[in-house]
Structure 1
Amino acid sequence: MNIKTQLKNFYLLQCGQFVSQLGSKITSYGLILWTYDNSGSVLSIALLTICTLIPSILLSFLAGSISDKWDKKNIMIISDSIAAFFSLIVLILLITNSLKIEYIYIINFILGVVDAFQNPASEVAISLIISKENYIRVSGIRSLSNSCITIFYPILSTTIYAFAGLKLIIFIDLATFIFAVLTLIFLVKIPKRIYNTGDNTNILHQCKIGIKYIVNDKGILSLILFMAFVNLIASIYNCNLQPMILSRNGNNKFQLGIVTATIGIAGVIGSILVTIKKESKKKIPVILNIMMFSFSICNTLLGIGRNYYIWTIAVFLGNVLVPFLTANVEFIMRNKVPLEMQGVVFSARNTLQYISIPIGYLLGGVLADKVFEPNVYKISFLTNIVGSGKGAGIALIYIVIGIIGFLGCCIFKLNNDMRNLDN
């Protein structure tokens, strides 16, 4: 395919995925609001994400091997269809007044299984559609798409939830599924060539190949471990953001929507800059410096801030450069890893760098509910920094993880294997 055809095909795929992901995000956010309204617990919210992530991580190797062997489009269509089916189940439970938090945990677990197969299939599909010289450009476009979703889903979800409830949110989710699947079936052309590590290679052996490749490449392994560290800090951050804001602003969901949407606005601006700025020759320093800035500035302002104006500034500064991080990491991975091995290697990478996310969510929930919130008032000078009242303990968590994140980046700066990825 020539470049124009490649990009047209990619835009069609990305359009369908954008609509589908927007619907899924609106629903996920609506379920978080519903759960917090019915439990008032940070740990309950954290468990929603943990139930989704654990099967996705544990099945990542298997799913990556299958995505190398099977048709990518079929995997994506089947995955979307299963996700839509369980959205329909949630809707039926709502209509019959039978929905319980425990049921959402189970459904999220099943959706995590689906994600395990869909994600590597869509990643490899993009590598099949797009040539290497367009990787950075495509990464910028994907970051822009994800940032637009981040802008709109909290505002849409909180508005719809406040005025029409969770039922309408799920109806919208089902409509976006129909659009995405029809686009994928009739408009998107993914090359039929199946890349794998050998037609006679069993799935278990392919998993070992993915692990062996990463272990033998010390630079890639170091980069994955760094991203696992970033994900650990980011998951503690993410699971506490909504509870902290709602606790400190009198449960004002509109202000929460503004702050959350600002994350997306920052991502849009950053994504545009990625697509127009000249590509940096040295990518590892860019990756490390971005996270040092984000950890130190964003988390500190979130911790000491007492109103949504400060929180809005904090999340903007913390996220505006993140598209440069993801673009440079993706560029390194797509160029260093042979195309025929990307399915198994990316799945091994996902397991290693995402296993820290459920740990972070669980840790963030326990720290908030059991440690920081009950005890922050016992040390008087801390209340001078983070204030008092409900949510002050969570604010202190942000300051602590900001310091830990900054120091961790400093340690990774000393890693020669990681720096050598630029050579």
Structure 2
Amino acid sequence: MKHLRLLLIGTLVNSVGSGLSAFGLAVFAYSAYGTASSVALVQLCSFAPIILLAPVAGALADHFDRRLMMIIGDGGSVLGLIAVILVLSTPSPRLGHILAGMTASSCLAALTEPALRASVTDLVDEKDYLRSAGMLQAASSARYLLSPLLAGLLLPLVGLRGLLTLDASTCLVTVTCSVIVMHAVGRRSTGERDDASPADHLLGGWRAITARPSVSGLVALMTFVTLTIGTLQVLLKPILLPHVGATTMGQLETVAATGILAGAGLVTALARLRPTTLLTLGTAGAGAAMVLLSLRVWPWWAATTGFAVFASLALCNAGAETLVRTSVDKDHQARAWGTISLVSQMGYVVAYVSAGPLADRVLQPLLTSDGALAHSLGAVMGTGAGRGAALLVALAGLVTIGLAALIHSRRRSLTPPSPADGQEFPQTQARTGTADPRTAAQAERTECATRTSAKAAPC
């Protein structure tokens, strides 16, 4: 666990830096253009490359040393940040140039996520998977927990370029942590065949998740969850910024994000529950909190309901990650995480593309003082700036609650089958048309585990 903790320290620092840039650029976009669509564009260019390139990053992390991929990804992302800083130094910085720099930075940062998630499997025992998932969430979520407060305080003092410079400097800490771990544990033996084609590597993640119906079903459901949660991520600032300043906005986001810590504590306290139960509870709680958040713009109300959203998402993510880790072969986990990220997080991409225009052009006109819904919904949600975005978040929350009910009804099919069910990994591999000599070893380990009691010596 000590090597994992060191990687998580690097992830924590890098997450804080990324959050500083994300907050500053979102405030800049809203201040300059005053629309939810401009904020959504910043989100899209910052995260879409990470999602779309995830399968390639996962294949590289399985083929090469995973810590090396993290070093290249974190170090290379600085180049894009430098480009954005140079654009902001011009007399009239253009949003398009800023978005291009953020896209370049994200393309390199895409190498990090699948390698980090697969490194958890490399560095800890299976009994620690759930606890490790909570630790990883806490470290990765520092961008929501610490960054908004810091960015809200620092933005008036150092400006947007200062925030971006701080983000670039945090990469030095991340790279250092990855280098130390790589030297301590040595280079990972990939076990790949020398004649494996690039297509084999890229398709390996898809084959790994489709070989298990429980995993493919889980990925489909989580794609819809990310669509609804992505809607909230895009529209939170357009809902609140018409009523609060940037500093208050940062404080509210930080208070709300402390729900991550509460959620991580709940994951530990509820570790004996089935992962599907955690997933159901988390999804239902997040949906209900989203509906409540949309009803009022009081700062304390936004902080409280936002806290509930983040706490619920911690349960949801821990349940989903545990289901995947117990279903996918260790040697395929990086590419599996890459493919899962691509498919499931496409929900975020759809939200980033559609939520802004829907709120600005469709729902906002309905909730003006003389809008078509002003009389029917105005008493409940209010009218004016940001209320169209709030209505879309409320609708997304209702959909999320429905998804929780669907997850509960399908909980048996989402649970990984045991070896006694006659669904061994080699058989599912055969159905996908792939042949891998490691599947025999995997089957032997699985069979051995069924014969060995919990207190017996490992096979």
The verdict on a shared fold, with TM-score over 0.5 as the criterion, is yes
1:296-333 Cα deviation digits (max 9, x unpaired): 2x122212113111111111122223222222221121
1:357 deviates by 0.9
Assess if the C-alpha contact under 8 Å between 1:232 and 1:359 holds in 2: yes
What is residue 241 of structure 1 aligned with on the other side?
A: 236
Q: 1:122 to 1:363 in 2, by over 3 A?
A: same
1:215 deviates by 2.2
What is residue 152 of structure 2 aligned with on the other side?
A: 158
Equivalent residue runs for 1:24-43 within 5 Å: 24-43=18-37
What is residue 138 of structure 1 aligned with on the other side?
A: 132
Of Structure 1 and Structure 2, the greater helix share is in: 1
1:405 aligns with 2:397: no
Equivalent residue runs for 1:34-73 within 5 Å: 34-73=28-67
- State which of 160, 168, 173 in structure 1 corresponds to 2:162: 168
Q: 1:348 to 1:30 in 2, by over 3 A?
A: same
What is residue 387 of structure 1 aligned with on the other side?
A: 382
1:111-139 Cα deviation digits (max 9, x unpaired): 23213222112222222222222212222
1:53 deviates by 3.4
What is residue 3 of structure 1 aligned with on the other side?
A: none
Once residues 180 and 416 of structure 1 are traced to their aligned partners in structure 2, the CA distance between those partners, rounded to angstroms, is: 38
Once residues 77 and 11 of structure 1 are traced to their aligned partners in structure 2, the CA distance between those partners, rounded to angstroms, is: 16
What is residue 256 of structure 2 aligned with on the other side?
A: 263
1:16 aligns with 2:7: no
Q: Give the gaps of 5 or more residues in structure 1.
A: 1-6
- Look up the SS of the partner of 2:241 in the other structure: helix
1:145-198 Cα deviation digits (max 9, x unpaired): 234442210011111112321122122123212222223324553441232553
Assess if the C-alpha contact under 8 Å between 1:125 and 1:190 holds in 2: no
Equivalent residue runs for 1:196-345 within 5 Å: 196-247=191-242, 249=243, 251-275=244-268, 277-296=269-288, 298-345=289-336
1:112 aligns with 2:103: no
1:77 deviates by 1.5
Q: 1:383 to 1:152 in 2, by over 3 A?
A: same
Q: 1:108 to 1:356 in 2, by over 3 A?
A: same
Once residues 367 and 44 of structure 1 are traced to their aligned partners in structure 2, the CA distance between those partners, rounded to angstroms, is: 13
Assess if the C-alpha contact under 8 Å between 2:49 and 2:106 holds in 1: yes
1:284 deviates by 0.8
1:281 deviates by 4.2
1:211-256 Cα deviation digits (max 9, x unpaired): 2332232111111111111100001111000111012x1x422331
CA RMSD of aligned residues (A): 2.0
Aligned residues: 413
Q: Which amino acid aligns with 2:241?
A: L
What is residue 338 of structure 2 aligned with on the other side?
A: 347
What is residue 436 of structure 2 aligned with on the other side?
A: none
Assess if the C-alpha contact under 8 Å between 1:284 and 1:422 holds in 2: no
**Larger Cα-atom Rg:** 2
What is residue 363 of structure 2 aligned with on the other side?
A: 372
1:416 deviates by 5.8
Assess if the C-alpha contact under 8 Å between 1:147 and 1:263 holds in 2: no
What is residue 193 of structure 1 aligned with on the other side?
A: 188
Q: 1:136 to 1:402 in 2, by over 3 A?
A: same
Q: Which amino acid aligns with 2:334?
A: G
Q: 1:191 to 1:228 in 2, by over 3 A?
A: farther
Assess if the C-alpha contact under 8 Å between 1:49 and 1:361 holds in 2: yes
Once residues 209 and 177 of structure 1 are traced to their aligned partners in structure 2, the CA distance between those partners, rounded to angstroms, is: 30
Q: 1:261 to 1:38 in 2, by over 3 A?
A: same
Query: Does 92-101 or 69-78 show the bigger shift?
Result: 92-101
Identity of aligned residues (%): 21
Once residues 117 and 262 of structure 1 are traced to their aligned partners in structure 2, the CA distance between those partners, rounded to angstroms, is: 30
Q: Which amino acid aligns with 1:282?
A: R
- State which of 345, 350, 359 in structure 2 corresponds to 1:359: 350
1:339 deviates by 0.6
1:243-302 Cα deviation digits (max 9, x unpaired): 11012x1x4223312221123211112213323x15234221221122112202x12221
Q: Bigger relative contact order, structure 1 or 2, given CA contacts below 8 A and separation 6+?
A: 1
1:14-52 Cα deviation digits (max 9, x unpaired): 112211221121112111111111111211111122223
Query: Does 12-21 or 111-120 show the bigger shift?
Result: 111-120
Query: Does 57-66 or 358-367 show the bigger shift?
Result: 57-66
Assess if the C-alpha contact under 8 Å between 1:43 and 1:366 holds in 2: yes
Report the TM-score when normalising by structure 2. Answer: 0.85
1:360-400 Cα deviation digits (max 9, x unpaired): 11121111111111122222211111111211212211221
Q: Which amino acid aligns with 1:350?
A: S
Once residues 406 and 7 of structure 2 are traced to their aligned partners in structure 1, the CA distance between those partners, rounded to angstroms, is: 39
Once residues 261 and 68 of structure 1 are traced to their aligned partners in structure 2, the CA distance between those partners, rounded to angstroms, is: 35
Q: 1:234 to 1:192 in 2, by over 3 A?
A: same
Q: Which amino acid aligns with 1:146?
A: S
- Look up the SS of the partner of 2:196 in the other structure: coil
Q: 1:269 to 1:98 in 2, by over 3 A?
A: same
Assess if the C-alpha contact under 8 Å between 2:17 and 2:143 holds in 1: no
Assess if the C-alpha contact under 8 Å between 2:291 and 2:397 holds in 1: yes
Q: Which amino acid aligns with 1:99?
A: P
Assess if the C-alpha contact under 8 Å between 1:148 and 1:265 holds in 2: no
Q: 1:168 to 1:57 in 2, by over 3 A?
A: closer
Q: Which amino acid aligns with 1:256?
A: M
Q: 1:310 to 1:372 in 2, by over 3 A?
A: same
